[in-house]
Amino acid sequence: MADATATEPTFGLAALGQIALTAHDLDRATAFYRDVLRLPFLFRVPNLAFFDCAGVRLMLGPPEPAAPNHPGSTLYFRVNDLDAAYAILDDRGVPFTDRPHLVAEMPDHALWMAFFTDTEGNTLALMSEVRQP
pLDDT number for residue 12: 47
pLDDT number for residue 35: 97
Can you give the residue ranges of every domain in the chain?
17-63+71-131
Give the lowest-confidence range in 1-10, 13-22, 23-32, 52-61. 1-10
Give the whole-angstrom CA distance, residue 26 versus residue 115: 22
Q: Structure pTM?
A: 0.71
Nearest C-alpha neighbor of 22 from the set 85, 67, 78: 67
Question: DSSP string spanning the chain?
Answer: ---HHHHSPP-STTS--EEEEE-SSHHHHHHIIIIIS-PPEEEEETTEEEEEETTEEEEEESPPTTS-SS--PPEEEE-S-HHHHHHHHHHTT--BSS--EEEEE-SSEEEEEEEEE-TTS-EEEEEEEEE--
The answer on pLDDT for 3 being more than 60 is no
pLDDT tens-place string over residues 86-133: 999 999 999 999 999 999 888 888 899 999 999 988 889 998 988 877
pLDDT number for residue 71: 60
pLDDT tens-place string over residues 49-90: 999 999 999 999 887 665 566 666 788 898 989 999 999 999
End-to-end Cα distance, the chain: 45
**C-alpha dist (Å) from residue 46 to 23, 25, 50, 60, 127:** 13, 12, 11, 11, 32
pLDDT number for residue 92: 95
The CATH code that applies to domain 17-63+71-131 is 3.10.180.10
